[in-house]
Structure 1
Amino acid sequence: MNAILLVKERTVLSDEAFYEIVIWQVPDPVPGSAHPFKYRLALIVKDQCVLRYDNERGKGDHRHVGAVEEPITFTSLDDLLVAFERDRERIYP
């Protein structure tokens, strides 16, 4: 099985901000993750990434809030999207 693109969307919040969600289903977990998804969820404000959830190869599931990077626990895509939305609304209401 090849990777399957499940979601690719960009939502414009204002003239200065948007967020983008990209989720792939992959045949094997990305090294560092234990699930069959590769994802990137990002909030961009004034051309700067201020929030990003991703599972970069070798790092596993984590988020970036400004310059701080911290691990997250992946339980489901729904939970991931809810967590991202909660952080997004807190950072850019």
Structure 2
Amino acid sequence: MKARELYGYKQTRADGTIVEMVIRQLPQGGAQQSHRLKYRLFYGRKGERIVGYDNERGKGDHRHIRGLEMPYRFVSVERLIEDFKVDVRNAGGSI
């Protein structure tokens, strides 16, 4: 069974910034995951990540803010999107 897309959004803005949010439900969770989701949220420009959230294999849930990587506590899809939007606004962007 393939991953099922729950949420997909991508926009390239006039100022050159890109907002992309992809959230997929996996057929089964990994050993280190408390949920069955794979996600990637990105705000930045081509070649420059300003804010990013993902749960890459081996690292688990985490976020990137202007080059710093830190753990992220996943609660829900809605909270993930809201936290991402807050971090984008705090970095000077808008969603």
User: TM (normalized to structure 1)?
Assistant: 0.88
**Aligned partners of 2:25 and 2:81: how far apart in 1?**
15
2:2 aligned residue: 2
1:89 aligned residue: 89
Q: Any unmatched runs of 5+ in structure 1?
A: none
Conserved? CA contact 2:26–2:37, under 8 Å = yes
1:60 alignment partner AA: G
**Aligned partners of 1:27 and 1:44: how far apart in 2?**
30
- Identity within the alignment, %: 37
Conserved? CA contact 2:49–2:67, under 8 Å = no
2:43 alignment partner AA: L
Alpha-carbon distance change, 58 to 31 in structure 1, aligned in 2, over 3 angstroms: farther
2:11 aligned residue: 11
**What are the within-5 Å matches in structure 2 for residues 17-28 of structure 1?**
17-28=17-28
In the alignment, structure 1 residue 62 sits paired with structure 2 residue 62: yes
Q: Any unmatched runs of 5+ in structure 2?
A: none
**CA-based RMSD:** 1.6
